[in-house]
Amino acid sequence: MLVHQAFRYELAPTAAQRAALTNHAGAARWTWNWGLAVRRKAWQRRRQTLNAMELHRLLNRLKRTSRYGWLYEVSKCAPQEALRDLDRAYANWWRSHKQGRRVGRPRFKKKGRCPERFRLTGAIRVEQDAVVLPRIGRVRTKEATGKFCGRILSATCRREADRWYVAFTVEVARPDPVTVTGPVVGVDRGIRTFAVCSDGTRIDSPRALTRGLRRLRRRGRAVTRKQPGSANRRKAVLALARYHRQIRNQRVDALHKATTALAKAKSVIVVEDLHVAGMVRNRQLARAIADQGWAEFHRQLAYKTAWYGSRLLVAPRFYPSSKTCSNCGLLKTTLPPEMRLFSCEGCGLMIDRDLNAARNLALLAGAEAGLVAASSAET
């Protein structure tokens, strides 16, 4: 089975390479903004939609003029891929728009506000302790690239605080999955814990996250207290970015462990629709970070179930998993969000609210199997 897998390494660039990386990121951002402006204008004036290829042709014409000669200093892939990203952003926007979700249309990228990143394709190579990128050349990595295997499709370079990382999208041959024969499990997003499984196990948010939030706020305040444009402000911004990176790494690590364990041991994993889970969102920092984690949890489960031979089932958007009794099926009309306990007037069941929802999700797998069995019996 051929799958796309990501390999990520931290780079150890020389000063000149660091400058080249920054230039590439700058060219990618500039191209995105330029493409967005041209696209918007073409639409406003002529109701014309310009795609990445048409924009690229315009950009090539522009490159020949002396003012934009600097574009020749970077690999042609960086602007090209930025325009492809723009296409994708528009496509996503249209799709969510049609589905009735409120998603902002593609926006301009402000310097210093958006992650510095760019993508390359073409002649990319991985060596023992280095990577070879078009235009930038051979950049040493901080760790050995021993685990690497497969055909490279693209490389995304990204700056996080003061470090640069490269992530390769690689086509990898994985052993064909053997169907997992474990039990069915429902996973509901918990209120106090990250998630609750129908078998009673809980997936905690990494403790460091909650503990780290106070420090994060403190460092955020430290930034706003410093004089804009000062060296101290820059230092505080860097400290904050480093801290964000640390928390993110811990979170990603914890999520990977949880999703791998589930995908390897359960035959079917049933989760809530992502958008339902996101609706309880509020503006709190902790919650916002947890929301991101939940989307990542979905994403990892989706590909890992395919890798390991289990199945991911997403509940229909209006499935009332938290208001239904998982024992007798009685449906409550309301369930205030602060109620921790689900108590059923029908059968007297008293159960943790999140556990009840998780069990309902698990039941959905059985119901679906029943449906499939019933329809095949008819034919």
* Site residues for Zn ion per CB under 5 A: 325, 327-328, 330, 344, 346-347, 349
Q: How far is the CB of 359 from Zn ion (least distance, A)?
A: 11
Q: How far is the CB of 317 from Zn ion (least distance, A)?
A: 24
Q: In this structure, what are the phi and psi dihedrals at residue 47, rounded to the nearest 5 degrees? A: 55, 40
Cβ 25 vs Cβ 159: under 8 Å: yes
Pick between residue 191 and residue 328 the one whose CB is nearest to Zn ion.
Answer: 328
Strands, DSSP E only, in 15-122? 117-120
Q: How far is the CB of 325 from Zn ion (least distance, A)?
A: 3
Q: Pull the structure tokens for residue 31.
A: 């191209």
Q: Catalytic: 204?
A: no
The catalytically annotated residue of 87, 272, 291, 378 is: 272
Q: How far is the CB of 249 from Zn ion (least distance, A)?
A: 43
Burial of 332: CB neighbours in 10 Å, binned 0-12, 13-18, 19+: middle
Q: How far is the CB of 344 from Zn ion (least distance, A)?
A: 3
Strands, DSSP E only, in the chain? 2-12, 117-120, 125-127, 130-133, 137-141, 151-160, 163-173, 184-189, 195-197, 202-203, 268-271, 311-314, 341-343, 350-352
Distance set, CA 305 to CA 58, 180, 269, 311, 348 (Å): 43, 9, 9, 5, 36
Q: Catalytic: 272?
A: yes
Distance CA 17, CA 236 (A): 25
Q: How far is the CB of 329 from Zn ion (least distance, A)?
A: 7
Cβ 159 vs Cβ 118: under 8 Å: no
* One-character DSSP codes across 290-331: HHHHHHHHHHHHHHHHHHHT-EEEE--TT--TTTB-TTT--B
Q: How far is the CB of 334 from Zn ion (least distance, A)?
A: 16
The catalytically annotated residue of 162, 354, 368, 378 is: 354
Distance CA 146, CA 130 (A): 11
Cβ 87 vs Cβ 50: under 8 Å: no
The catalytically annotated residue of 87, 188, 204, 291 is: 188
Q: Catalytic: 352?
A: no
Distance set, CA 26 to CA 21, 62, 122, 191, 362 (Å): 9, 17, 20, 41, 48
- Say how many C-beta atoms besides its own lie within 10 A of residue 121's C-beta: 17
Burial of 317: CB neighbours in 10 Å, binned 0-12, 13-18, 19+: exposed
Q: In this structure, what are the phi and psi dihedrals at residue 141, rounded to the nearest 5 degrees? A: -105, 155
Angle at which helices 207-225 and 231-265 pack, to 10 degrees? 160
Pick between residue 31 and residue 321 the one whose CB is nearest to Zn ion.
Answer: 321
The catalytic residues are 188, 272, 354
